[in-house]
């Protein structure tokens, strides 16, 4: 599984990364978690608000910091 956090490094983006990283570790999920801060690459996903969460190439969340429960739901935990 590949998870990307799209955002330019704001506080919300960092919080989103931390929440997802925690869920991955606590549930032993095999996933690659990366931050995408390059604005040109972010624009390729056609989003207008960050942070955004992309799971296996599909935008799942945009413009909101997800809860742990929401991340667990998206990851099938």
Query: Is 16:66 a contact under the CB 8 Å cutoff?
Result: yes
Binned at pLDDT 50, 70 and 90, residue 67 comes out as: very high
Helix or strand (DSSP H, E) at 42: helix 39-43
Query: What does the pLDDT look like over 10-55, one tens digit per residue?
Result: 999 999 999 999 999 999 999 999 999 999 999 999 998 999 999 9
Give the global pTM: 0.92
Q: Please, are residues 6 and 36 in contact by the beta-carbon 8 Å criterion?
A: yes
Domains of the chain are 2-75 (3.40.30.10)
């Amino acid at each position: 599984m590949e998870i990307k956090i799209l955002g330019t490094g704001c506080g919300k983006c960092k919080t989103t990364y931390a929440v997802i990283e925690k869920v991955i570790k606590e549930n032993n999920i095999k996933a690659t978690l990366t931050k995408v801060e390059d604005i040109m690459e972010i624009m390729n996903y056609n989003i207008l608000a960050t942070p955004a969460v992309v799971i296996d190439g599909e935008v799942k969340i945009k413009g909101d910091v997800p809860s742990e429960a929401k991340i667990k739901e998206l990851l099938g935990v």
